[in-house]
Amino acid sequence: MFSLKNKHAVITGGGSGIGRAISVLFARQGATVHIIELNEDAATQTIGEIQSGGGNAFGYTADISLQEQVLDVFKRIGVVDILVNNAGIAHIGSLEGTTGADLDRVYNVNVKGAYNALYAAVPLMKVNGGGVILNMASIAATVGITDRFAYSMSKGAIMAMSLSVARDYLADHIRCNTISPARVHTPFVDGFISKNYAGREEEIFEKLSKSQPIGRMGRPEEVAALALYLCSDEAGFITGCDYPIDGGFIKLNN
């Protein structure tokens, strides 16, 4: 079950965190993985891990907010069976703590970047007879999160775009779904804590972990396992859906 043999999977932001876990798992399941990354060193490390396990992976350095770069990468890849729009950035701040430049920066990566990959991938999928798209949303798209104005905006847009793509390309056999994680323990979280709470790292880590009813942060590998299912043939009857993976945050955080 859940074989991706002979599939070509494109994963944006596949060099670290959730993207890295998805890349490694997809390769283990037989996919040829194409990682689009701004951080070339991070992509190289992920590719090395995949190749050391006997998998196939290729890296492409590109800024996903720039459409010409994205179109060029997809032209080089040629065949796309799976697209995982994972690349994204965060911003801390309420409405009043968000400048126009902040909003533009988050939009350009999280929203326009996903659009650029969709715009490049969908025509290739149509030629190929179909495909699967998985867009990384967030619980912030559906639940109010303190000081996440721009980030929440961007993830709400991801959910809306995903529904539109799922509806428009039913006849082309293209499925499109979203995953909405709560807090997942990635290098970004560690960096955020050390930058903003120097000397209190252990305390803040515990506080953030306990903000989820299950009592801990998620692991990138857990998100990757859900991504694998949704991108596999076994999920062939699923499109236009969002899947929270949140340790009970949405339903149980009273």
Active site residues: 151
Residue 162 near residue 177, CB atoms below 8 Å:
yes
Q: Minimal CA–CA distance to 31: which of 52, 12, 51, 5? A: 5
Give the total residue count for the chain: 254
Give all strands (DSSP E) within 127-196, no chain letters.
Answer: 131-136, 174-181
Q: Is 142 helix (H, G, I), strand (E, B) or coil?
A: coil
Smallest CA-to-CA distance from 107 within 165, 161, 153, 162 is with: 153
Q: What is the dihedral of CA 69, 72, 76, 77, to 10 degrees?
A: 70
| Helix or strand run (H / E) with residue 22 | helix 17-28
Q: How many CB atoms lie within 10 A of CB 11?
A: 31
User: Backbone phi, then psi, for 200, in 5-degree steps?
Assistant: -120, 20
